[in-house]
A and B are shown apart, each in its own frame.
Chain A
Amino acid sequence: MPVPLAYFQILAGVLFGIGVMGVLFRRNILVIFMCVELMLNAANISLVAFGRALGSMDGQVVVLFALAVAAAEVAVGLAIIIDLFRKRGTVDVNEVNLLRG
């Protein structure tokens, strides 16, 4: 008996929610960044499950593009974090106010 589509969607929703909770709770910018990756991953699960249910390949192709964008995002994001740490000596998002936010 195949697993119903809804179960995959619920799992994706829960994972996404945990990612949001991490972004709201944590102050270590590296952990926040990992939680963003978690949310991207949850969205990917959802896309693949929908694509499977509809019997089309488009869902998987979109996930491939999401992977490419995530790789680019991680490269640039971690570079920014390293530069930030060099400048401010901290990875606490509350301490960082270079843009006077």
Chain B
Amino acid sequence: MALAGFLLLAVLAVAGALGVVLQRNALYGALTLVGVFATTAILYLMLSAPFLAAVQVMVYAGAIMVLFIFVIMLLSLRYEESGESEGVPRGAKRNLAVALSSILVALLVLLGTGLVLTGRPGPSEGNMASIRDLGLTLYQKYAFPFELASVLLLVAIVGAVALTRRHGRGFEGSVAREDT
């Protein structure tokens, strides 16, 4: 039963991921990526990580993808402008890309099957980890990295604002940007 559910979710996730890569329109790619993140959230539930599932939906499928779609629509690229009207790379380049990525996938799958053969115990049914445990681990063992993460987010906010700020009227850099 759980296995059938997992297989269904896995097929959905892989299909969504292929959609991101193969979809010509970036906006449709973003929408299939939302699907991948949603199926990932359900996988987290199967792995008894309910808090991560909620955070996945809110942060990834919510905030991050809204930001992506916002930027895609802000730039409102036509297909010719996205640089892909000449199609995906042809010839040797394409073969090399296919070979490299298939070797990588083969290695990762081999690693996974190695886990089957060595008989690593599967996710145990017992000791259902609770959100309380997660909180205790986060605030006791990882208290300092947690604080550092807040600094990182603050720096990212400041950086994003500084990068996209128009050097418009009233600022000393008003001419520097316009003539490029």
Q: Which of A44-72 contact B (CB under 8 A)?
A: 44-45, 48-49, 51-53, 55, 57-58, 60-61, 63-65, 67-72
Contacting residues, chain A, for B36 (C-beta < 8 A)? 15, 38, 41
- Say yes or no: A68 contacts B152, CB within 8 Å: yes
Q: How far is the CB of A86 from chain B (nearest CB, A)?
A: 8
- Say yes or no: B6 contacts A7, CB within 8 Å: yes
Contacting residues, chain B, for A95 (C-beta < 8 A)? 83
- Say yes or no: A30 contacts B6, CB within 8 Å: no
Does B175 interact with chain A (Cβ within 8 Å)?
Answer: no
Taking residues whose C-beta sits less than 8 angstroms from the other chain, chain A's interface range is 35 or more
Closest to A88 in B: B180
Q: How far is the CB of A46 from chain B (nearest CB, A)?
A: 9
* The residue from B3, B89, B104, B127 contacting A20, defined by CB atoms under 8 A apart: B104
Residues of chain B touching chain A, judged by Cβ–Cβ distance below 8 Å, are 1-3, 6, 10, 13-14, 17-18, 20-21, 26, 29-30, 33, 36-37, 40, 43-44, 46-49, 51-52, 55-56, 59-60, 63-64, 67-68, 71-72, 74-75, 77, 81-84, 88-89, 94, 97-98, 100-102, 104-105, 107-109, 111-113, 115-116, 120-125, 127, 129, 133-134, 137-138, 141-142, 145, 149, 152-153, 155-157, 159-161, 163-164, 180
Residues of chain A touching chain B, judged by Cβ–Cβ distance below 8 Å, are 1-22, 24-28, 30-31, 33-35, 37-38, 41, 44-45, 48-49, 51-53, 55, 57-58, 60-61, 63-65, 67-76, 78-83, 85, 87, 89-95
| 18 A-B contacts (beta carbon < 8 Å) | A2-B2, A6-B112, A6-B116, A10-B112, A13-B105, A21-B21, A24-B101, A25-B89, A26-B84, A28-B77, A52-B123, A60-B51, A60-B134, A63-B52, A67-B56, A70-B64, A75-B156, A92-B83
